[in-house]
Every structure is written in C-alpha cells, then in structure tokens.
Amino acid sequence: MINRRKTIELAGLGLPAVLAGCARHQGLFSARQTGSSTPKNGLDLWGRGFESQRIADRGDGTFLNPIFAGDHPDPSIIKDGDVYYITFSSFDAYPGLLIWKSFDLVNWSPLSPALWTPIGSVWAPDLIKHDGRYFIYIPARTKNYKSIYVIHSESIEGPWSEPVDLKLHDHIDPGHMVGEDGKRYLFLSNGDMVVLTDDGLATDGPVHHVYDPWRYPEDWDVECFCPEGPKMLRRGEWFYMLTAVGGTAGPPTGHMVIAARSKSVFGPWEHAPNNPQVRTSSREEKWWSRGHATLIEGPSRDDWWLVYHGYENGYWTLGRQCLLDPARWRDDGWFEAAGGDLSKPIAIPAGGRKQPHGVALSDDFSESELQSHWAFYRPGEDESQRVKTDNNMLQLAAKGTSPAGASPLCFVNGDLSYSVEIEIERDAGAMSGLLLFYNESLYCGLGFDDDGLVMHRYGTERRIANVIGKTTRRLFIKLENDRHIVTMFTSADGADWRRFDVQIETSGYHHNVAYDFLSLRPGIYAAGEGAARFRNMKYRALR
C-alpha cells in the first residue's frame, strides 16, 4: 500500500491523500531545474526547467506564454495576501484539482490535489477564500448524473472535505461572489445565479436569471453561443462579471471573453463598450480559442492581469494551456486586455519573488507515495488496491482487457517534442505498456503480453510478430513524440534500443476529433490478469 507523510482516508477512491509538497521530486534522473535560460535568438524561445521542460520565465525579466504548458484548462485563481493559488479543471483524472502556488503569477510550484473522491468528470471549478476558509465549487458529471459540488478546508494544503452535492443539475461553471447585502451567491452558466447559505454549503432558494450576455456579430466563426465561466470581481461600487462565450473548442476564432458590470449582483448588468475583451481574431495567431478569464491584481498594487486558457496553434493535442495577459483600467471604469495575440515576450509582473517552476516528471518510484502529477483516468472505487510502491518500483494490478478499460496512470506534459521511457516487468497473463493516452477511444503506444508485442494505434490493438519472444516478461519501452510524429522503441536492457518500424502521426488526437476536453499525455497501464511492475520512468523534453 501507499504510505504518506500526512493522510486522510478517501471515501470513494480509497487512495489516501498525499499532502506533502513536491520538493522531493526535484532530483530524479538529472531532473534538477536548470533555471530559465536567456534566449539566444528570436522571440519564440522559452526558458527551460526540470528535464528541459519549457517554462514561461525566460530569465531576462520577460516571460513567454503559456505560464502552464500542457493541459491546464479553466483556471481558477485567487490572491491571498502576497501569494497566488490556482487550480484547473481535472476532468476524468483522479486525484484531481491539483493546487499550485506562486508569488509572481509566472513561476508556480505544486501543493497537493484537493479532490480524491470520484464524482465524475470535473469541469470548470471556482477556488475562493471566504471568512478565512477555502472553498472549491465543482461542476461534475457522470453518464447518469450531473451536479455542482463544494469542498472546503481550513488550509489551502488540506485536508479538504468530502464533496457536498448542491443539487444544481442544469448548470456548469460556478462563480462565487458576496453581494452588496453580505450574502453569498453562485453565478452560473447562461447568466443565472443562486443564493447560498451563509456557510456556503447549500443553496438558499431557486435559481434566478440575472444577465443576458452580449452577443457577437452573426458572421463570426464560433462553435456555439454557450455563455459559461462567469468570473466575478468587486472593485469600488461595481461588480464586474467576465463571461466566456463562443464555445471552448471548435473554430480557433470561437472562444472569447466578454465583460459586464452592475452595482448590484441582481443587476441590471451593462455590457462593456469594448467587448469582447479577449478573442482570437485569426487562425494565424499563436493562441487559439482564448477565453474563460479571471481578472486579478498583480504583485504590485494597481497592476492587473487576465488569466485564461487557449489552444496553441497546431497543438490541440496539448489541450487548453494557461495564459497570462496584462490588463489595464480605463478612465471610464472599464478594463481592457493589453497583450494582443500573446505571441511575444511580456515583462514579468513586478514585485513578486521567484521560485522554481513546475515539477520533474521522471520517477524512480523511490517514494512510498505517488507523486502529485500522476492521476488515474476514470478510476473505480478500488483503485488504491491496485497500486503499491516499494523498493524503487511501482506495482499496478491489472484491470480490464486493454488500455481502454485499464484506467491508465497518466500525467500532463506540455512540451512540443519529448521522450518518455520505462522498464516494465509483467506477470503471466498480464498485458502492460507505455502509452500516449487521450481517452478510452483514442491512444497509441506499445505493450506486450503472453503472445508478444502489441501496437496501440487509433485506440485499437494490433498484434506484432517477430519483434520480441512470446515468453518475454521484462521489456524497456520508449516513445518519442516530435511535434506529433511518434516513434517507438524497445530494448531488452535499456541501453540497446530497437526502433519500431511504424511511426504514428497524432495531430488528430484531440477534442475536436474525440471530444472529452483532454490532452494527449504519457501513461502506463496493466490489463488482463496479475500485475505489472514499473521502474525508472524517464521524461525529457527534446527541443
């Protein structure tokens, strides 16, 4: 079983919560953060962090978006004194709602996941602090049930409560606000709002419609109207509401941010004269489908920023990445974004202190607990019984008959080119391997079982003869993803690699093909019977 420095029992997942920080991860496989490197030429170079992962901080006083590379959608951010905390939609990954900490809005370190009990696919949450207590309002859905839940904690690092069902079945994307009357409210999708009880753990009356969102011109290319993601701010006598419209995927020009303001949470709400505040106006821009924004004060007073997500041009496979856009207040009391299409470096917010960004993704499994970046895809209630880490090894009990039903253990990454390799030893009757996994219908990689090597492609399995023996129980597998071109390798000893003779093009492994709002991410699995053991997982950004 997994031991923890601090634990709580998980009612649904069963996997005890790891509440320790992530500094222990930062020395694996030469994964020490190298620090941000000053760009040698051009304007399209990032800094480099752990394992040469790209990071926003360029080391010259500027940053280049994204501030979170890879799938970090629907950011929910708060400023708590001089500290920022942020979390993102985690969808089908558990443990979920990993919380991050920063002092300058650019460099972030992980704390711990907040959600351990499976309640379905987690959509855009709202992280808030009220009367000294932290709350996260969470829309989630299964095939048979959808609602909005809330969890709460006295400390941002937990332990967090079990989810409380608010029984809001017809809305998503909650946004918390305290009204002019001192009562607590949740703003919801489609311009609706509901009153909360004083403790924030239940609704106190029916849902009200309070806002009809601004509409874009009819000839714009969008996915849908889809008013969602209300993010609230009170400044002076005004309440400001930022809303996403246009659909979060679909055409690159679809998603956008609009604004409205009112002197009462009940309205009337007036549209900003400069709507939309943020929009991808051309598919030639660096960042597509930009939206779902929060307006937040920077480390220096009266320094303001928009935090939102977007797809990288040509890289839907990386999911919606987190972007930072400078903003300014106008003389008429409205605000406006100042960063343009975000393809160029921007000065780092002044007044904040730096820290290493991100976390090493390599893992020698030397700890008695899973590192915070690992998460199961659609886990069952007994997932904790499948996992054991001991003696530099992770053991994973088999589940299902293929990766589709095996709840692979995956992590989010954000590099355009990278390699990942691992040593696998399997029991007789087990199939195990290394994947690039989008969802249960779309993945690729290599595995092996009692009948030899198996190639995974398009979410299907194909038997490969004469590559390894049918009695092979131990195998090293490596995948290289070079800007959508995946090359696969096998080795008997981890030193002498044999290149597999099929390469896979993966640019279509994304939401607009397979739905689910996810990203293509490295993962390991065990299916069939028995278990598989994994050692020496190595991740490296290639360029």
Query: Same domain, yes or no, for 42 and 173?
Result: yes
Query: Same domain, yes or no, for 298 and 388?
Result: no
Query: Same domain, yes or no, for 127 and 209?
Result: yes
Please choose, from the candidates 288, 317, 292, the residue with its C-alpha nearest in 3D space to the C-alpha of residue 439. 317
Phi-psi map region of 59: left, alpha, beta (phi>0 left; psi -120 to 50 alpha): left
168 burial type by CB count under 10 A (0-12 exposed, 13-18 middle, 19+ buried): buried
Dihedral sign, CA of 30, 408, 517, 515? positive
Query: Same domain, yes or no, for 397 and 333?
Result: no
Domain boundary among the residues 330, 347, 364 is at 347
What CATH number is given to the structural domain containing 283?
Answer: 2.115.10.20
**pLDDT at position 337:** 96
- Provide the residue range defining the domain that includes 395: 375-541
Q: What is the pTM for the complete model shown?
A: 0.93
Find the helix or strand (DSSP H, E) in which 531 lies.
strand 531-541
Rounded to whole angstroms, the Cα distance separating 200 from 166 reads 10
**C-alpha distance from residue 182 to each of 187, 213, 516 (Å):** 15, 25, 38
- At position 38, the amino acid (one-letter code) is T
Query: Same domain, yes or no, for 473 and 512?
Result: yes
pLDDT, mean over the chain: 92
pLDDT band at 278 (very low <50, low <70, confident <90, very high): very high
Question: Looking at the DSSP assignment, which residues form a beta bridge with residue 279?
Answer: 256
Neighbour count for residue 284 (Cβ, 10 Å): 10
Domain boundary among the residues 304, 328, 347 is at 347
Two structure tokens written together for 100: 């991050």
User: Is 30's pLDDT higher than 50?
Assistant: no
Query: Same domain, yes or no, for 398 and 308?
Result: no
Q: Is residue 3 part of a domain?
A: no
Q: Is residue 59 part of a domain?
A: yes
User: Is 35's pLDDT higher than 80?
Assistant: no
For the ranges 18-27, 269-278, 314-323, 416-425, the lowest mean pLDDT is seen at 18-27
**pLDDT at position 393:** 97
User: Is 368's pLDDT higher than 90?
Assistant: no
Q: What is the pLDDT of residues 396-428, one digit of tens each?
A: 999 999 999 999 999 999 999 999 999 999 999
Query: Same domain, yes or no, for 330 and 431?
Result: no
Can you say how many angstroms the Cα of residue 432 is from the centroid of all Cα atoms in its chain?
26
The percent of residues above 70 in pLDDT, for the chain, comes to 92
What CATH number is given to the structural domain containing 407?
Answer: 2.60.120.200
Query: Same domain, yes or no, for 336 and 477?
Result: no
Residue 9 near residue 2, CB atoms below 8 Å: no
**pLDDT at position 44:** 54
Which residue shows structure tokens 């972007």?
323
pLDDT band at 9 (very low <50, low <70, confident <90, very high): very low
Q: What is the mean pLDDT of residues 212-239?
A: 97
For the ranges 39-53, 213-227, 270-284, 291-305, the lowest mean pLDDT is seen at 39-53
Domain boundary among the residues 310, 330, 347 is at 347
Query: Same domain, yes or no, for 333 and 379?
Result: no
Query: Same domain, yes or no, for 244 and 284?
Result: yes
User: Is 8's pLDDT higher than 70?
Assistant: no
Q: Is residue 180 part of a domain?
A: yes
For the ranges 97-101, 213-217, 339-343, the lowest mean pLDDT is seen at 339-343
Q: What is the pLDDT of residues 507-542, one digit of tens each?
A: 999 999 999 999 999 999 999 999 999 999 999 999
Q: Is residue 240 part of a domain?
A: yes
How many H helices and E strands in the chain?
1, 42
pLDDT band at 444 (very low <50, low <70, confident <90, very high): very high
Query: Same domain, yes or no, for 413 and 268?
Result: no
Query: Same domain, yes or no, for 259 and 300?
Result: yes
Q: Is residue 110 part of a domain?
A: yes
Indicate the number of domains in the chain.
2
Q: Is residue 4 part of a domain?
A: no
Q: What is the mean pLDDT of residues 55-65?
A: 97
Q: Is residue 108 part of a domain?
A: yes
- At position 305, the amino acid (one-letter code) is W
The percent of residues above 90 in pLDDT, for the chain, comes to 88
Q: Is residue 21 part of a domain?
A: no
